Amino acid sequence: MDIICKRPRGTEDKLPKEIYKWRTVEKIAAQTAEVYGCKEIRTPTFEYTELFQRGVGSTTDVVQKEMYTFDDKKGRSITLKPEGTAGVVRAAIENGLFNDALPLKTYYFTRCFRYETPQSGRLREFNQFGVEVFGAASPSADAEVISLANDVINRLGVKNISLEINSIGCPACRAEYYKALKNYYEQYKDKLCDTCLERLDRNPMRLLDCKSEICSAFKENAPRILDYLCDDCKTHFDGVKARLDALDIKYTVNPLIVRGLDYYTNTVFEFISNDIGSQGAVCAGGRYNGLVEEIGGAPTAGLGFAMGLERIIMVMDSQSLDYEQDAKCDLYLATFDDETNIYAMKLAQRLRNDGFRVEFDTCGRSFKSQMKYANKLDAAYCMVIGSDEIASRSAKLKRMSDGEEVSVSLDDTLSEKLNMLMMNI
Ligand code: ATP
Ligand code: MG
């Protein structure tokens, strides 16, 4: 097919007939975030590349291989955001949001762009719902953020999701752990994949995240970060677990969760579905106490999560869950000629201003095909506007489900009458 009519690999069209699913998920996610005191934030789709590629420390696939990066016309390097957190942190620093009362609690919906190998649940452009909270260092914040994600999942009715948590400590306790890890992996050096070899020096913890079969096998007996946590990190993690227990949120501790981005500290977590195959992580997040400083702000605690909306909807579909359906057409006005069509247009305008979903013919269709179309729209009511109706300022409202008709006046009382009828439908 001509490339003009082909969407780029790894992208999706969200069509009108399925938008109700997105609306449902977005509405419930936003409502849940708001009862937790979060406010929406919207940041640009692209940022200067430096925001994501901070210094030379980036060891993740996302930053090293997956970014959509290009020069703009002035030769500045621009990157389409691969994730939401960095943009929110940049915006908060730039707009002085950390100077207001803390914690700063934000949520957002964003498109993310990653040059990955497309497969089910893995796209090059995808949508995330995210929450980021700043200035809250206590374990209550970790539990609150996890609970928020958990509530979104529950309110959507999604079942069969497991929550896995871990602590990856702070830079201090991680230093010891890195030594132990390097030591351990030294014996397998000749068997490791190239990527792991490269990471062994810079960020050995990322070896635990390698998906290659050979490297994965070595994970089992690798030293566990939880054995290396300093007292503060251990206390923090215990505090998080105690609060999840108090909230009756079920979890398992999985010491192999290290997350795909470098900036996490302490708590990390993933919500995993068992229903959509290997791309089962529907939500992932954690604490990132060093990030604000790394981006150029004053040291500020931070934490959050991102939920993959395509994946959540895949799980919901696989479980045949209900969404809020799109509202249908309330009233179709069928007309015959210019005079009646213009009258219908004015009437539609009036009723639309009163909140009704009204349609009339804009295709120049015959009366018969207008009625066919009204059926196709699944309109609740239909009204024929002929010259007699205009003259008498009254018409018949026909309920499409059973053909029952009532006479109505076309004057100002029509909206009220329609309202009453719609309520009894
Ligand atoms: P994965 O291990 O599946 O690659 P990740 O660690 O790269 O995930 P994050 O960067 O934490 O994922 O993004 C948060 C969430 O966004 C994921 O849990 C997932 O639901 C979703 N997500 C990530 N990458 C993609 C993608 N390429 N296509 C669709 N959804 C994605
Ligand atoms: Mg990934």
Residue (of 360, 356, 312) closest to 332 by Cα position: 360
Read off the pLDDT of each residue in 386-415 and give the average, rounded to a whole number. 96
Q: The tokens of 164 are what?
A: 């896995």
Protein residue with its CA nearest to atom 25 in ligand 1: 122
In angstroms, the CA 333 to CA 317 distance is 36
Parse the chain into domains and list their residue ranges: 3-170+230-318, 331-420
Q: Which ligand is nearest to the CA of 308?
A: 1
Rounded to the nearest whole angstrom, what is the distance from the C-alpha of residue 320 to the centroid of ligand 2?
Answer: 27
Residue 42 and residue 132 in contact, taking contact as beta carbons nearer than 8 Å: no
In angstroms, the CA 132 to CA 239 distance is 20
- Pocket around ligand 1: residues whose beta carbon is below 6 Å from it? 83, 114, 116, 121-123, 126, 128, 260-261, 279, 281-284, 306, 308, 310-311
CA–CA–CA angle 106, 61, 179 (5° rounding): 95
Q: The tokens of 375 are what?
A: 């059926």
Confidence of residue 123 (pLDDT cuts 50, 70, 90): very high
Rounded to the nearest whole angstrom, what is the distance from the C-alpha of residue 122 to the centroid of ligand 2?
Answer: 8
| pLDDT for residue 170 is more than 80 | yes
In angstroms, the CA 134 to CA 89 distance is 9
Q: What's the whole-model pTM score?
A: 0.93
Q: The tokens of 99 are what?
A: 């100077």
Indicate the top mutation candidate among 311, 315, 316 to test ligand 1's pocket, ranked by most ligand atoms within 8 A of CB: 311
Residue (of 230, 234, 237, 180) closest to 205 by Cα position: 180
pLDDT of the residue at 202: 80
Residue 311 and residue 122 in contact, taking contact as beta carbons nearer than 8 Å: no
Strand partners, 68: 80
CATH hierarchy code of domain 331-420: 3.40.50.800
Q: Which CATH architecture has domain 3-170+230-318?
A: 2-Layer Sandwich (3.30)
Ligand 1 nearest atom to the CA of residue 308, by list position:
20
Indicate the top mutation candidate among 126, 131, 264, 291 to test ligand 1's pocket, ranked by most ligand atoms within 8 A of CB: 126
Share of the chain above pLDDT 90, in %: 84
Q: What is the pLDDT of residues 82-122, one digit of tens each?
A: 999 999 999 999 999 999 999 999 999 999 999 999 999 99
In angstroms, the CA 382 to CA 334 distance is 7
Protein residue with its CA nearest to atom 26 in ligand 1: 122
Read off the pLDDT of each residue in 116-131 and give the average, rounded to a whole number. 97
Share of the chain above pLDDT 70, in %: 98
pLDDT of the residue at 258: 84
Q: Cα dist. 117→9, 53, 122, 156, 194 in Å?
A: 9, 21, 7, 29, 19
User: Do the domains at 3-170+230-318 and 331-420 have one common CATH topology?
Assistant: no
Confidence of residue 261 (pLDDT cuts 50, 70, 90): low
Average pLDDT, the chain: 94
Protein residue with its CA nearest to atom 28 in ligand 1: 122
Q: The tokens of 223 are what?
A: 């030293």
Rounded to the nearest whole angstrom, what is the distance from the C-alpha of residue 284 to the centroid of ligand 1?
Answer: 8
Q: What is the pLDDT of residues 375-387, one digit of tens each?
A: 999 999 999 999 9
Q: Which ligand is nearest to the CA of 260?
A: 1
Instruction: State whether the Cα torsion 169-34-307-275 is positive or negative.
Output: positive
Cα-flanking dihedrals φ and ψ of residue 55, to 5°? 60, -150
Confidence of residue 413 (pLDDT cuts 50, 70, 90): very high
Rounded to the nearest whole angstrom, what is the distance from the C-alpha of residue 82 to the centroid of ligand 2?
Answer: 10
Q: What is the pLDDT of residues 22-73, one digit of tens each?
A: 999 999 999 999 999 999 999 999 999 999 998 655 667 788 789 999 999 9
pLDDT of the residue at 56: 54
Show the beta-strand stretches assigned E in 245-380: 252-253, 265-273, 281-287, 302-308, 331-334, 358-360
Ligand 1 nearest atom to the CA of residue 128, by list position:
16
The upper half-sphere exposure of residue 97, i.e. CA atoms within 13 Å in the direction of its Cβ, equals 20
Ligand 1 nearest atom to the CA of residue 259, by list position:
6
Ligand 1 nearest atom to the CA of residue 116, by list position:
27
Rounded to the nearest whole angstrom, what is the distance from the C-alpha of residue 308 to the centroid of ligand 1?
Answer: 6
pLDDT of the residue at 423: 86
